[in-house]
């Protein structure tokens, strides 16, 4: 059944009065990527050095690397000061580069026709960029937008010479969370819509149940997608309800083995009900995972 699910993840920026920060974790990336991390431990061995970060990212720097000495110096600074550095992994995630992280208060985020953006800071004279093809564009925009609104300092790493931002991390007063959830795939939403509009020969009570589940299936998928769009468009506050009501879950369970005179319609109802349950169970699991992960840092009112 999970083959019919589409997993969507998106970072959410919440304001929490806790001074430490949570790193921007984006698991599942398979392309090269850049991250800001704080080095916790440096272990020098025969082959080179292994760096362990507070964020759980490990990097191995071989002594044969021409930049070994400067990478080690950067890592030591990060460890001593507990300030971030940038770790850049290649596509295979086997080799990495370390780059210095800078900090400043962003002042302006200006959209460009290309789809990218220009970023100005209070202190830096240069014009920084968000590349139009950067898969993390929405993430960077959301973080910088929030920092501009709240007048907060951020840490950042750039590519030279065009000053393209590779990663951004709040330095103060703002915390970054990642929440994951799943939504029903479009083709099943269309089937649910067909079920909702179909003339089904069955008892009125059963018909109400079928339509309730089909409608909830469509509405919940729509609501999750709307929430995702809201966050991606840099909303400072977004609310997402990813949990399905218990009574609807019970109805969907009953419909999985439903018998109807029209076998084609029967299969459609069963598919929708099964998918509804899969989405509900997976989102319940992801929600618990989120709570567990951020248990110590979430505001007590949430």
122 binds another protein (CB under 8 A): yes
Residue 109 C-beta: closest distance to another protein, Å: 10
19 binds another protein (CB under 8 A): no
160 binds another protein (CB under 8 A): yes
* Residue range at the interface with another protein (CB under 8 A); choices 23-31, 101-109, 191-199, 226-234: 101-109
Report the C-alpha gap between 130 and 140 in whole angstroms.
8
Residue 123 C-beta: closest distance to another protein, Å: 4
Report which secondary-structure segment, H or E, holds 104: strand 102-104
118 binds another protein (CB under 8 A): yes
56 binds another protein (CB under 8 A): no
The side-by-side arrangement of strands in the sheet containing 164-170 is: 102-104, 154-159, 164-170, 128-130, 117-121, 106-111
Residues with Cβ < 8 Å from 147, sequence gap 6 or more? Answer: 105, 106, 153, 154, 168, 170, 174
Sign of the CA dihedral running 233, 14, 104, 28? negative
54 binds another protein (CB under 8 A): no
Q: Tell which residue, 178, 176, 177, 180, has the closest CA to residue 283.
A: 180
70 binds another protein (CB under 8 A): yes
83 binds another protein (CB under 8 A): yes
Residue from 158, 179, 189, 210 touching another protein (CB under 8 A): that is: 158
Q: Tell which residue, 163, 151, 174, has the closest CA to residue 105.
A: 151
161 binds another protein (CB under 8 A): yes
On whether the CB atoms of residues 158 and 165 are closer than 8 A, the answer is: yes
Report the C-alpha gap between 50 and 67 in whole angstroms.
15
On whether the CB atoms of residues 235 and 243 are closer than 8 A, the answer is: no
Residue from 9, 50, 58, 103 touching another protein (CB under 8 A): that is: 103
Report the C-alpha gap between 85 and 34 in whole angstroms.
10
Residue from 126, 132, 245, 299 touching another protein (CB under 8 A): that is: 126
Residue 245: DSSP 8-state: P
199 binds another protein (CB under 8 A): no
* Residue range at the interface with another protein (CB under 8 A); choices 21-29, 37-45, 156-164, 250-258: 156-164
Binding mask 261-300 for another protein (x = CB under 8 A): ----------------------------------------
Size of the site for another protein (CB under 8 A): 31
Instruction: Using CB under 8 A, list all residues that contact another protein.
Output: 70, 81, 83, 88, 97, 99-100, 102-105, 108, 110, 118, 120-127, 153, 158-163, 166, 171
């Amino acid at each position: 059944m999970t083959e019919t699910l589409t997993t969507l993840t998106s970072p959410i920026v919440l304001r929490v009065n806790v001074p430490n920060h949570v790193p921007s974790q984006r698991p599942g990336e398979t392309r090269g990527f850049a991250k800001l991390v704080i080095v916790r431990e440096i272990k020098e061995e025969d082959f080179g050095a292994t760096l362990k970060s507070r964020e759980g990212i490990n990097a191995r720097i071989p002594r044969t690397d021409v930049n070994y000495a400067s990478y080690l110096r950067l890592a030591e600074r990060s460890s001593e000061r507990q300030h971030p550095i940038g770790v850049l992994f290649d596509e295979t995630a086997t080799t990495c580069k370390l780059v210095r992280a800078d900090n400043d208060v962003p002042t302006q985020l200006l959209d460009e026709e290309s789809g990218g953006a220009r970023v100005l800071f209070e202190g830096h004279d240069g014009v920084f960029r968000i590349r139009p093809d950067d898969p993390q564009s929405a993430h960077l925009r959301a973080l910088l937008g929030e920092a501009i609104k709240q007048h907060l300092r951020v840490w950042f790493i750039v590519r030279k010479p065009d000053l393209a931002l590779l990663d951004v991390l709040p330095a103060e007063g703002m915390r970054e969370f990642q929440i994951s959830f799943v939504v029903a795939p479009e083709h099943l939403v269309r089937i649910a819509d067909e079920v909702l509009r179909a003339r089904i020969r069955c008892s009125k009570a059963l018909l109400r149940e079928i339509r309730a589940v089909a409608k909830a299936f469509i509405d919940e998928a729509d609501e999750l997608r709307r929430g995702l769009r809201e966050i991606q468009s840099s909303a400072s506050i977004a609310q997402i309800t990813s949990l399905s009501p218990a009574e609807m879950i019970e109805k969907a369970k009953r419909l999985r083995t439903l018998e109807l005179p029209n076998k084609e319609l029967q299969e459609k109802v069963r598919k929708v009900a099964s998918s509804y349950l899969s989405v509900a169970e997976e989102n319940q699991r992801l929600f618990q995972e989120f709570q567990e992960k951020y248990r110590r840092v979430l505001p007590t009112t949430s």
